Amino acid sequence: MLRDRRKSRLLLALSGLLVCALTSVTTAQDSAAPRKKVLVLYWDSKDFPGNVSFDQGFQASLNSDPSIKLDLYSEYLDSQRFPGERQTELLYEYLLGKYSGQKIDVVVATPDPALSFLLKYRKHLFANTPIVFVAVQRPALETLTAGAGLTGIIRANTQRRTLDLALKLHPQTKDVFVISGTPEHDKRFENISREELAGYESRIRLNYLTDLSVSDLVERVKSLPRDSIILYVWQRTPVEEEKLLQTYQVLEKVRQAAPVPIYGMGSRNVGYGIVGGYVQDSERNGLETADIVRRILSGTPTQSIPVDSASSVPMFDWRELQRWGISESSLPSGSVVRFKELTLWEQYKWRIIGLATLIAVQTLIIALLLAERRQRRLAKEALDRLNAELETRIEQRTAALNAKSRELETFAYSVAHDLKAPLRGIDGYSRLLLEDYAGRLEGEGENFLQIIQRSTDEMNQLIDDLLAYSRFERRELHTGKIELAPIVTSLVEEKRREAARSIDFVVDVNGGTVLADASGLSQSLRNYLDNAVKFTRNVDQPRIEIGTKEDADTCVIWVRDNGIGFDMKYHDRIFDIFQRLGATEDYPGTGIGLAIVRKAMERMGGRAWAESHPGAGATFYLEIPR
Amino acid sequence: MNQLETGPIRPILLVEDRPIDIDLTRRAFERQKVLNPLLVARNGEEAIAFFDRWDAGEPLPICILLDLRMPKINGLEVLRRLKSHPKFSTIPVVVLTTSTEDRDVEEAYKLGCNSYIVKPVEFDKFVDVAAKIELYWCAINRPLS
């Protein structure tokens, strides 16, 4: 807490010091640079366009210099509207009285009439103040060196340069019409032009349209020949009662009527009808004048600043250039082109580029998407074609397989039929022999015939089993819900009847159901039972159990006997066709029964397997879907 | 024996292409002392040929034992023609064949056979079959005159 308070106190003290320092610096600067007073004496009124442009350059330049504290005064020698010697006198008296107590540092005069006025009254008015002028007429040397100092810029006449430029842009020109006029009808501009343009007569005809009334002027310019141009110098004309048309307003009317291009020298006229010309730019004059004023204010002796020419620039009106089909490239270097109408492209270049880029990108994306879609479609078509081909091939293969299968069926059928016929012959005739010639056979003859009989039986059984197996393979499945108990009971009854001896059948089958092919299921169970009966034939008390166990999806049925059993290493082989484990004499069989069981189970989605130990009986299982 | 009728004894027609089977059938019937004469058609064509003879006035067989597998016209075709015949369709036909095929059994019954017997391989059983045929189709089934 204590430390914090000490710190803030220190900060307070420091900021106080800083404020003091800053204040003293500012005060020092103020005292070092006293305010300067500059008076500008304009010709014409405050609103005269040339004056406005001049002020733009002049004031902007001076105000941009922070080292000068300036008080600016403006006065107007409005001799156009207030002509006459008396008016001039009155202005003199007015200014003399107004500024008698003021120390003016620099007086600026623009243009010539303002300078003439100042020089006329110099002995009394601003006698000790240097004058900076903007004028057309260069003052005489003695005037320049007299008094408190006089310097400035000369607005050179640019009529020759402008005419040269016009003739270069319009080489076919034969006539040049020079327009000028003053309310006083004093032909002063014509005189200047005649002087200035002397020497051009050899190349072109110079025609002076001087001091014409606006209506006459308009009529006159309407009928100008094609191969001519207008050099518009200056014309201010009174129309009707007291209204005075400014030079640019006259120009506007000329421009509307003239069938030929107009050139001129005033920057103000650019925009009112002239194609262009070397113009004196008032704003630039203002800038240059301000430079001189600044130098004088900063102590440079006025006499040491030479009188310089005001710069003129080739300036054009873009719209007029367009009208006369003049390309910008044919203009002199450094030309200023005003009123340029930006083309849509120039105006919206970046937006257009952006939009075009966006569209291009979008187009590209769309193209890519389309290409991708096409590719995908092609791929899909290829895939479809391939699938169709595959389908066709599968169909062909299936048809071929079916044909093969039918062929095999016919084959099995024929084999059985054809094998049985001779078998019937063997059996039939051996039996006839045995019965009809019983007493007449010697030695083992009868025994042999009995062996023939037994062999025939065996072969018959084999053929039957094979037929059953093959029939099983091609039989159609009829899968349905089957109640287990009745089918098991009836099969057990059947076996009990068939068995030559008493067998203990233990049936423990509750009301379970399976999803199976009835014929396949009963054939499988029958074969299991046959097997159990067969392999318990040498057991003292044969016992066969039939049981079931169900879970959610399947039902397992088993047939357990207490017969001779088998080695578990053969547990799978016994289900293969023609695989027999017992000796034929002891346990006759064809080796097809269990193969039929497995086949039946495979076809109905079930499973068949067996477990056993030699001498410890065997258990045969069926697993069937529920 | 079992011949209760007073008229001439009508024959049994055996349609069978195997000489051994013909012989064994004949012997089996002999064992059973069947008196009906045994006529034999050795194939389907010969069986059909009997139609003309019956039309000409020969006595109709009391029953026909018909093998199915035979060259040229097979047994099922013979059965079809018999059973669709206006006059002979009433003659009992016992199919006696090796075939245990379901479709043969079905087809034979569909065409109108009266009995379907699978030829046993053992001669003893064959003799039993002969006895049963004689009993069912020759003695009991004989129309009373």
Q: What is the pLDDT of residue A27?
A: 46
Tell whether A471 lies on the interface with B, counting CB pairs under 8 A: yes
* Start-to-end C-alpha separation, chain A: 90
- Other beta carbons within 10 angstroms of residue A271's beta carbon come to 17
Q: List the structure tokens of B134.
A: 């004689």
Q: E strands, A9-80, where?
A: 36-43, 70-77
Burial degree of A34 (CB within 10 A; 0-12, 13-18, 19+): exposed
**What's chain B's average pLDDT?**
86
Please state, in angstroms and rounded to a whole number, the distance separating the CA atoms of residues A489 and A492: 5
Q: Which residues contact B2 (CB under 8 A, 6 or more apart)?
A: B134, B135, B138, B139
B122: nearest CA in chain A? A427
Q: List the structure tokens of B56.
A: 């000409």
Q: Which H or E run contains A493?
A: helix A484-498
Disruptive mutation site among A420, A436, A462, A476 for chain B (greatest number of B CBs within 10 Å): A420
Query: pLDDT of B42-97, one tens digit each?
Result: 999 999 999 999 999 889 999 999 999 888 889 999 999 999 999 899 999 999 98
Q: What is the pLDDT of residue A388?
A: 94
Q: What is the pLDDT of residue A15?
A: 55
Provide block-wise average pLDDT over 10 residues at a time, chain A (626 residues). Answer: 55 52 47 80 87 89 85 89 88 91 90 90 89 88 83 88 92 93 86 89 91 90 93 84 81 92 89 90 88 90 87 90 91 90 82 92 95 95 94 92 80 74 88 84 83 86 80 78 89 87 86 85 90 87 90 90 84 77 66 85 89 86 90
> Chain B residues with CB inside 8 Å of A417's CB?
69, 98-99
Smallest Cα–Cα separation from A79: which of A71, A67, A87, A68?
Answer: A87
Contact A423 B18 (CB under 8 A): no
Q: Which residues of B make CB contacts under 8 Å with A?
A: 18, 20-21, 24, 27, 69, 98-102, 119-124, 126
The model carries a pTM of 0.44
Q: What is the pLDDT of residue B78?
A: 94
Contact A467 B27 (CB under 8 A): no
Tell whether A427 lies on the interface with B, counting CB pairs under 8 A: yes
- Other beta carbons within 10 angstroms of residue A541's beta carbon come to 9
% chain B with pLDDT above 70:
91
Tell whether A519 lies on the interface with B, counting CB pairs under 8 A: no
Tell whether A416 lies on the interface with B, counting CB pairs under 8 A: yes
Q: What is the pLDDT of residue A131?
A: 93
User: Which residue would you say has higher pLDDT here, B64 or B34?
Assistant: B64
- Beta carbons of A179 and A209 less than 8 angstroms apart: yes
Contact B119 A420 (CB under 8 A): yes
Contact A432 B27 (CB under 8 A): yes
Distance from CA of A427 to the nearest CA of B (A): 6
**Alpha-carbon dihedral of residues A351, A355, A356, A362, nearest 10 degrees?**
160
Q: Which residues contact A204 (CB under 8 A, 6 or more apart)?
A: A167, A173, A174, A175, A176
- Other beta carbons within 10 angstroms of residue A441's beta carbon come to 14
SS3 A231: strand
Q: What is the pLDDT of residue A20?
A: 47
- Beta carbons of A313 and A270 less than 8 angstroms apart: no
Q: What is the pLDDT of residue A16?
A: 52
ipTM score assigned to the predicted complex:
0.80
Residue A240 backbone zone (phi > 0: left; psi -120 to 50: alpha; other: beta): left
> Chain A residues with CB inside 8 Å of B122's CB?
427, 431, 456-457, 460
Whose tokens are 């069912």? That residue is B136
Disruptive mutation site among B27, B121, B122 for chain A (greatest number of A CBs within 10 Å): B121
Burial degree of B105 (CB within 10 A; 0-12, 13-18, 19+): middle
Phi, psi of A158 (to 5 degrees): -110, 20
CA–centroid distance for A471 within its chain: 71
Cα distances (Å, whole numbers) of residue A38 to A94, A127, A144, B137: 17, 14, 20, 157
- Beta carbons of A415 and B110 less than 8 angstroms apart: no
